[in-house]
Amino acid sequence: MWKYVVKRFLLMIPTLFGVAVVIFVLMRIVPGDIVELRFSGESSYASKENLAVERARFGLDQPLWKQFVTWIWGLVRFDFGTSMWTGAPILQEIKLRFALSLQLAIMATAVGILIALPLGVAAALKQDTWVDYLARVVSIAGIATPSFWLGILMILTLLVVFRWLPPMVYTPFWVNPWQNLLQLIWPALAVGYRLSAVATRMTRSAMLEVLREDYIRTARAKGLVEMLILKRHALKNAMLPVLTVTGIEFAFLMGGLVVTEQVFNLNGLGLLFVQAVTRRDYTMTQALVLLVAAVFIIVNFFMDLMYGWLDPRIRYR
Amino acid sequence: MAINVPFDAIDVAAAEAARAGWWGIVKDFCRRRPLGAAGAAVVGLLVLVALCANVIAPYDPEKVDFGAMLARPSAAHWLGTDAFGRDVLSRLIYGSRTALLVGFGAAVVGATVGAVLGVGSAYFGGRVDLYLQRVLDIFIAFPLIILALAIVAILGNSLPNLIMAITIPMIPRCALVIRSSALSIREMPYVDAARAAGFGHARIILRHMLPNVMAPYLIMLTSFLGQAILLEASLSFLGLGVQEPTPAWGLMLRGAAVDFAESAPWMAVFPGLAISLAVFAFNLFGDSLRDALDPKLRTL
């Protein structure tokens, strides 16, 4: 077991390194760099010397491999450098947004699970009846509806029907929990609905599979109450794949809410990412992509471990 | 307890359907999976609308009419007009071309390249498989939209580039799924036989293995179709996809649609409905297709 954990853990390093290489190269292929962009933005004439001086300041005059080594060496020491655009330390810039994105991801996941579990279980129990069809339609609609459009509709409804708008300025939870929830519950609902769609389908198919197992028949045969069979025997075993998809979706929520954040005027990681890419802020983009990829890879790692812990039949090799 | 029809019954039904020919298969699918058939019908309708856009659209989708800015839905403009006085219905109709072009383009290319990679990875095994899987892992760790964003930033946002940006993140996802099905096919006697007969790698992969992963391929393809349309809408909404004045559903939700959402809600409501309906139809169809082709395959 421990051998597997260590091996699985070490496997994360080459993947992360690969992500670092890909994003580093990608950013260098993107035409135009931050220096050009800045000078053209100020519509002032910039001489070649000025551009060269600026480039040297960012270390962009160095050969590519040297830039890469410098960056990786910084990462190893947990030094992410400073944003090329704002000049502020990246860690500080990200920290501000990380809290918001994390809270939103947690809330959305909670909303998603609250919808998905009952719906998925009901669909599996009443397979091929109208309950099943309804659950299917509701969940496919969740995948089909862009959450940013759902967000627009929510704001519109609140505005037209209730003459009320959620607060547009972010208040941290520890400052004013009520204000904070009033603002974040809407994007959480919009995104959570989408997440619930994926989880509902998974719950349904996992439940269907588990309900056909021998131990369920045994439980029924010994006269166990149906509710207990469902809760203790079926649901517990069906949770594995549901947890997996929820975990993966959660990881994506951390950086993938680019569009929804835009609609709700939230200053999260997604918005920061779009800004960083359009400004050619190499250091910021690289740090963000690495962060999001790391969250994804680490969540996957824990999912794998949890599998073995929850289901002892799974053996590690 | 509701349990599925016994498998031999399904086999019998399938055999009957096969005997009845192509039309019989279609009829059988409609009878057995009404939801999927409804999805397929909507998809068919969408394709028809996209093909005949120039015939059925009441107005030129790019014609600016300052006399009819932000007009309410009426007999003249069924779904109203936008902030430039352009007919929303006409833009929706022409927008279906963009959506389907991007959807089909990205899904077909993404799923096909992914399938070839997946089958190749399974076929060669060993080192090739190991390294290819590591590379795919790297690309999967990027969130879909972030990879697409970066690629659009590199290539610029013309329509072909947009399709490419949506295709690339899909390839590794498809390759993973196809690989797992192809692993068992590699062990089939007919693959050994083909190898013994001295066929080349390319021929074995393309002629013997690829046709046998058709079921997961089709399933991935239909699920990608919906995702590609959604992704295109998201990118266009961010201003990084299709550019004005080309009609595209995501683009129609951007800017003025949000600013005037209260006074002219039709601008924000109808394009979103179009996106949802299209993706909904594709997914409904794909879902039933999955059930029909491979009941054991898990929802992804």
Q: B200 at the A interface (CB within 8 A)?
A: no
How many whole angstroms separate alpha carbon A283 and alpha carbon A200? 39
Length of chain A: 317
Residues in A touching B1 (Cβ below 8 Å) = 211
Q: B221 at the A interface (CB within 8 A)?
A: no
Q: Report the sign of the C-alpha dihedral through residues B123, B128, B131, B132, in that order.
A: negative
Q: B42 at the A interface (CB within 8 A)?
A: no
A264: Cβ contacts below 8 Å, ≥ 6 apart: A151, A155, A166, A183, A186, A187
Q: A250 at the B interface (CB within 8 A)?
A: no
Residues in B touching A156 (Cβ below 8 Å) = 261-262, 265, 268
DSSP code, position B219: H
Q: B262 at the A interface (CB within 8 A)?
A: yes
The whole-angstrom distance between B101's CA and the closest CA on chain A is 18
Q: Using one digit for the tens of pLDDT, what is the confidence trace for B156-168?
A: 778 888 899 899 8
CB contact under 8 A, B298 and A202: yes
Please state whether B247 falls in left (phi above 0), alpha (psi between -120 and 50) or beta.
Answer: beta
Length of chain B: 300
State the best of A26, A143, A204, A289 to mutate against chain B, taking most chain B CBs within 10 Å. A143
> Is there a contact between B149 and B240 (Cβ–Cβ < 8 Å)?
yes
CB contact under 8 A, B149 and A160: no
The whole-angstrom distance between A251's CA and the closest CA on chain B is 9
Q: Is A49 exposed, middle or buried (0-12, 13-18, 19+ CB in 10 A)?
A: exposed
ipTM exceeds 0.95: no
State the best of B10, B32, B144, B145 to mutate against chain A, taking most chain A CBs within 10 Å. B145
Nearest by CB: B283 against A19, A143, A152: A143
Q: What is the pLDDT of residue B181?
A: 81
| Contacting B residues, span 95-154, partner chain A, CB-CB under 8 Å | 134-135, 137-139, 141-146, 149-151, 153-154
How many whole angstroms separate alpha carbon B71 and alpha carbon B84? 10
Q: Using one digit for the tens of pLDDT, what is the confidence trace for B41-67?
A: 999 999 999 898 888 888 888 877 777
How many whole angstroms separate alpha carbon B270 and alpha carbon B279? 14
- pLDDT of A52 > 80? The answer is no
The whole-angstrom distance between B299's CA and the closest CA on chain A is 6
Nearest by CB: A22 against B138, B144, B145: B138
CB contact under 8 A, B137 and A15: yes
Q: What is the pLDDT of residue B20?
A: 63
> Is there a contact between A172 and A180 (Cβ–Cβ < 8 Å)?
yes
Place A214 in a pLDDT band, splitting at 50, 70 and 90.
confident
> Is there a contact between A152 and B268 (Cβ–Cβ < 8 Å)?
yes
Q: What is the pLDDT of residue B100?
A: 92
- pLDDT of B6 > 50? The answer is no
The whole-angstrom distance between B153's CA and the closest CA on chain A is 6
Q: B188 at the A interface (CB within 8 A)?
A: no
> Is there a contact between A217 and A269 (Cβ–Cβ < 8 Å)?
no
Q: B232 at the A interface (CB within 8 A)?
A: no
Tell me what the pLDDT averaged over chain B comes to. 82
Q: List beta partners, residue A82.
A: A89
Nearest by CB: B2 against A30, A126, A159: A126
Q: Using one digit for the tens of pLDDT, what is the confidence trace for A183-204?
A: 889 999 999 998 898 888 888 8
CB contact under 8 A, A258 and B149: yes
pTM listed for this prediction? 0.83
Q: B293 at the A interface (CB within 8 A)?
A: no
DSSP collapsed to 3 states, B146-157: HHHHHHHHHHCC
Nearest one of B241, B211, B246 to B229, comparing CA atoms? B241
Place A294 in a pLDDT band, splitting at 50, 70 and 90.
confident
The SS3 call for residue B81 is strand
> Is there a contact between A80 and A74 (Cβ–Cβ < 8 Å)?
yes
- pLDDT of B106 > 90? The answer is yes
Q: What is the pLDDT of residue B299?
A: 41
> Is there a contact between A204 and B291 (Cβ–Cβ < 8 Å)?
no
State the best of A149, A191, A195, A257 to mutate against chain B, taking most chain B CBs within 10 Å. A149
C-alpha radius of gyration, chain A, whole number: 24
> Is there a contact between B242 and B162 (Cβ–Cβ < 8 Å)?
yes
The whole-angstrom distance between B254's CA and the closest CA on chain A is 10
How many whole angstroms separate alpha carbon B261 and alpha carbon B272? 13
DSSP code, position A82: B
CB contact under 8 A, A258 and B226: no
CB contact under 8 A, B234 and A148: yes
Q: What is the mean pLDDT of residues B199-226?
A: 85
- pLDDT of B18 > 90? The answer is no
Q: Which chain A residue has the Cα nearest residue B5?
A: A128
Nearest by CB: A18 against B134, B144, B150: B134
DSSP code, position B255: T
The whole-angstrom distance between A172's CA and the closest CA on chain B is 26
Q: Is the omega angle on the peptide bond into residue B245 within 30 degrees of 0, that is, cis?
A: yes
Place B300 in a pLDDT band, splitting at 50, 70 and 90.
very low
Phi, psi for A89 (deg, rounded to 5): -60, 135
> Is there a contact between B125 and B111 (Cβ–Cβ < 8 Å)?
no
How many whole angstroms separate alpha carbon B162 and alpha carbon B6? 46
Nearest one of B77, B103, B219 to B162, comparing CA atoms? B103
Q: A181 at the B interface (CB within 8 A)?
A: no
How many whole angstroms separate alpha carbon B122 and alpha carbon B116? 10
Residues in A touching B263 (Cβ below 8 Å) = none
